[in-house]
Structure 1
Amino acid sequence: MNRFSVLHRFFLSPSSGAPLAFFRIAIALLGLVQAGWLAGSIALLYGENGLVPWAISDGIVDPYLPQLSWLKPVSEFTGLSADTWVYIIMGIYLLSLIMLLLGKFTRVAAFTAWALHMMFINTGFMAAYGVETFMHIALFYCILMPVGHVFSWDARWRTTVRDSEWYTLSIRVLQLHLCLVYVASGVEKAMGTQWWNGEAIWQTMMQGQFSRFDMRWMAGFPLLAKMLGWSTLVLETCYPLFIWWKRTRPYGYLAIVMLHLGIAVFMGLQLFSSVMIIFNTAAFGWPYVQHIYRTRVQPLYEKKKLHRAGRLATQAFWNFE
């Protein structure tokens, strides 16, 4: 009975839905930013005769999975070109992300974005980029989790529950998922020698597709590459240890955010880093974000507000005179 009560408190003790609202808003914004980056290359990446033609992707992807080649019969029936329908599908995808961002018909919008996103990752180049996997997972979570109960359009028409056990359960799922992801990634890296001898760091810095700076000087400091590899292994394999212990959690959260910021800066994988930071912030970092806002940002805003009010009062006094 005691063990059951401990599990009940862990998974179902009421908590705030603000982290889930942040998760919804941030994921929707990230999807819109990504679509903006790809806007000029839609036909090239996902068109019928793009870089990966549908004739090729049809032979790679399971025919029962949604893909853009399913638009061929629609194109023949309507008389519109297949590429035109790709643009239409992309437009619907963007609209669903906007609705998800606003929290209007949240679950329907999340399901629409998730289904259309699946069509894109099963066609063209999106599946080759790791951010798409986590974006797809995030959109799926937005379907199942109560991400639209706080800070949303839908919340205006329902009685908002301040704290709920369903919010806690959803956050626990995100937390356990991240622990599995990082441990699996760390163990896989540790099974080889490249992350131990620094070769993985060196090769990454030297590859043209990832290299953003001239890092050839690292050849004179082999220990630095080794230490970067070792620190990555420690952060990932020991992620559940330092992220669950309250005393080390803020430092662990900061370390994992710095890791992904480093990936964004030195490898140019900004979208991947962003989605991982969003996951970590919603799962573990939200209390620290709130604390920084309340202690640093909010007082500064209140100070500026009082200063403006004083200035307006002074102007009104002199105008009256």
Structure 2
Amino acid sequence: MGTLLALLIERPVSLYAAAVLRIGYGLLYLVFLLREFPHRDEIWGPGSPWTPALAQQLFDETGWVSILTLSDSRAYFEVCYGAALVTSVLFTLGWRTRAVSVLFAVVVASFHARAIFMTDGGDNLILLMSVYLVFTACGRRWSLDARRKAAPAAERGRLGQRFHDFRRTVGTVLHNCGMFVIAAQVCFLYGSAGLYKVQGGSWGNGTALHYVLNLELFRPWPALSHLLDEHAIAMAIAGYLTVLLQVAFPFVLFGRLKYPVLTMLLGLHLGIALLLGLPLFSGVMIVADAVFLPDRFYRSLGHLWPRSARPPGVGKTRDPARREPALVPTQPGPAG
């Protein structure tokens, strides 16, 4: 119990992983908004078949809210869309992250609610993650905020130092709780998806991927889908492996098996993006998986940068005793 309490309040866990989540989801949502820019009016604007009045009627029943329904003016909508683009950029860069993360969550929730019948699993997960990231210190690494130097403790005074310590402790607790909730959400998602597939007859007899590859709505490359579908045994093995990976995922996080499992899940999501034409969903899942990689993995990426491109302090030797703890404890060895 004491160890758990110390882990919760002493140091923030997985700061680099939190930064990867911030950058990943901010960039994905920016790309999403830019991709849908030509169709923005039909999806979220006054010209949508699902008018602001109809959306408001649904909100009255469900409790959802959206800044996009505050006015049916086209000028107001264009301002909101532009603000959403700017917010996504600032969130990705980590500028005033505490405040901007709240704005980003409002943007994602508003656009999600405005076109609730056009969302999918990727939209739902990025909405959840945007809310969870509000409570994390996702701007402490790889951000514009991280480049600003904190005021020296000697300049704060005794009262100022106490307030700083209190604020830092509260921030640490919120961050750690937020990161644990994110990890639990991903585990629940994989576990429930795997258990749901186990109950399906098509996944049990190995024909699930055959039907998936023959859905006209999800065939961006029909020739490639047809070519893969000709290898029935390979598709059956791939289907069984998918179920096994999803069911086993929550149980392999504390051992070395998590690294090959994460690698295979990366391949799975890339396959979904290519074969089913769902790049946003795949990107959201790949970023979510990044929460389970230790910070020493992300710090090692800094050695790949040219020295002239590194921010101040990156690449310097750190005191091993001050190394940030990982969200999921890692095992000794060369992996990760």
- TM-score by structure 1 length? 0.78
| 1:165 CA displacement | 5.6
1:97-116 superposed matches below 5 A: 97-116=88-107
Of all paired residues, the percent bearing the same amino acid is 20
Q: Greater relative contact order (Cα 8 A, min sep 6): structure 1 or 2? A: 2
Show the counterpart of 2:16.
Answer: 18
| 1:12 CA displacement | 5.4
RMSD of aligned Cα (Å) = 3.2
Give the Cα–Cα distance (whole angstroms) in 2 for the partners of residues 52 and 198 of structure 1.
Answer: 39
Contact 1:11–1:172 (CA<8 Å) still a contact in 2? Answer: no
1:130-279 superposed matches below 5 A: 130-155=121-146, 156-158=148-150, 166=173, 168-213=176-221, 214=223, 215-218=225-228, 220-245=230-255, 247-279=256-288
Aligned length: 289
Contact 1:242–1:249 (CA<8 Å) still a contact in 2? Answer: yes
Q: Does 1:36 pair with 2:34?
A: yes
| 1:125 CA displacement | 5.9
Give the Cα–Cα distance (whole angstroms) in 2 for the partners of residues 169 and 58 of structure 1.
Answer: 34
Gaps of 5+ in 1: 76-81, 303-321
Give the Cα–Cα distance (whole angstroms) in 1 for the partners of residues 140 and 228 of structure 2.
Answer: 50
Structure 1 runs (4+) deviating above 6 angstroms are none
Contact 1:174–1:283 (CA<8 Å) still a contact in 2? Answer: no
Give the Cα–Cα distance (whole angstroms) in 1 for the partners of residues 117 and 142 of structure 2.
Answer: 30
Contact 2:122–2:281 (CA<8 Å) still a contact in 1? Answer: yes
Question: Between Structure 1 and Structure 2, which shows a larger proportion of helix residues?
Answer: 1
| 1:17 CA displacement | 1.7
| 3-state SS in 1 of match to 2:115 | coil
Show the counterpart of 1:122.
Answer: 113
Give the Cα–Cα distance (whole angstroms) in 2 for the partners of residues 154 and 289 of structure 1.
Answer: 18
Paired AA for residue 260 in structure 1: H
Show the counterpart of 1:5.
Answer: 2
| 1:142 CA displacement | 2.0
**Distance change >3 Å, CA 108–CA 168, structure 1 → 2:** closer
Give the Cα–Cα distance (whole angstroms) in 2 for the partners of residues 16 and 207 of structure 1.
Answer: 40
Gaps of 5+ in 2: 153-164, 308-336
- TM-score by structure 2 length? 0.75
Paired AA for residue 137 in structure 2: P
| 1:182 CA displacement | 0.6
Give the Cα–Cα distance (whole angstroms) in 2 for the partners of residues 114 and 120 of structure 1.
Answer: 10
Show the counterpart of 2:43.
Answer: 45
| 1:30 CA displacement | 1.2
The structure 2 residue matched to 1:283, chosen from 269, 286, 292, is 292
